[in-house]
Structure 1
């Protein structure tokens, strides 16, 4: 969840002005707000989330405490590959997250015989990531999805229209799954050379090597 701070500042002579911050993670917003309050010149201070709902400082502290035991700060890398000769596809998924003060990485992949293009394989890879998030218990939090597919990233972020029938079905399925899980997605397009982990997993799936591993990062 992202929070912005809105506050009224009062000078020693009683003049007032209004300030609004950029959106930031909850923990950062709380630190900033506590520092702002130390000036002793704050008349009103409010926390507003991305849905324009207002929060009290006590409520945000309780929220932070409640998510400590659940996966949070989730970043998902996905990649799909399609072999035009064999008509086989490989899907790769890497999920980074925090839980109980520790950092984890989940790696997963899978082959498929039922896809018809590289773009469809990319969508299927993202859909597989959502299945893994559901198993992890990732619900009702923001999640960043990162990939090198311009088609998937731009279509799901609303930059491009989904024209192909074979892809619109995947887009609808993914958006419905995110809504069910309560995930607030952010999409990030990266160069292929920065998506090597997910790409390697997709290639391994194409070669018949299936992987499912969840490990703590030290």
Structure 2
């Protein structure tokens, strides 16, 4: 979870102004905010996430402590496979995370019908992963999403334009969930070599093979 620090600063002679920091990880922001509080010259310190939710330092500390017992340090691999002859797509995602001091992996796949392109299948696979995160209770965290689709990764990073209405619709659905549960996404483009697990899950989904699982690593 990335946040910025906002606060007012008062000089010994009473001159006052306001400051806002760059976005930093919540843990680092807490350390900086605590140091500012100790100075005795900063007041009205709040931590603000990308959705403009505001947290006091005490509220953020409580949130960070609660996260330890919930899924965190999350990285998601996703992939979509498309069959042009049928319009069916196999979706796959592998979610790696920490919880209660242990490492876990959750796999999920799905078969969907009546899609139009491989790019739509890739977006649908990411949407499947995002739905899984919500079911897992992941919230108010920075999550890394890794995939081999240049279209999906670069469009969601804002580096490529998206002219297709159907892909924009998928992006809107995904970002709506992010806003609802407080996910700050980071996108990572990987080669197919490093996305083989999600690719296999997508193929299994397309073939109707049940591979849903959660295991401790």
Q: Fold conserved (TM > 0.5)? A: yes
- RMSD across aligned C-alpha pairs, in angstroms? 3.4
Shift of 1:120: 0.5
Match runs of 1:107-118 below 5 Å = 107-118=107-118
Structure 1: 5+ residue stretches without partners: 7-20
Contact 1:3–1:47 (CA<8 Å) still a contact in 2?
Answer: no
TM-score norm. by structure 1 comes to: 0.77
> 1:77-156, aligned counterparts within 5 Å?
77-156=77-156
Counterpart of 1:76?
76
**For the residues of structure 2 that align with 1:26 and 1:179, how far apart are their CA atoms?**
17
Q: Distance in 2 between matches of 1:105 and 1:25?
A: 24
- 1:161 shift after superposition: 1.7
Contact 2:2–2:184 (8 Å) recurs in 1? no
1:22-75, Cα deviation, whole Å (9 max, x unpaired): 8654446667999x99xxx9x97x896655988776555433212112111111
User: Using a 3 Å threshold, how does the CA distance of structure 1 residues 56 and 192 change in structure 2: closer, same or farther?
Assistant: same
Equivalences, count: 211
Kept in 1: contact 2:3–2:25 (CA 8 A):
yes
Q: Are residues 1:194 and 2:194 paired?
A: yes
TM-score, normalised via structure 2 length: 0.77
Distance of aligned partners of 1:190 and 1:89 in 2 relative to their CA distance in 1, 3 Å threshold: same
Offset of residue 85 of structure 1: 3.1
User: CA, structure 1 residues 181+192, in 2 after alignment: closer, same or farther (shift >3 Å)?
Assistant: same
- Within-5 A mapping of 1:156-171: 156-171=156-171
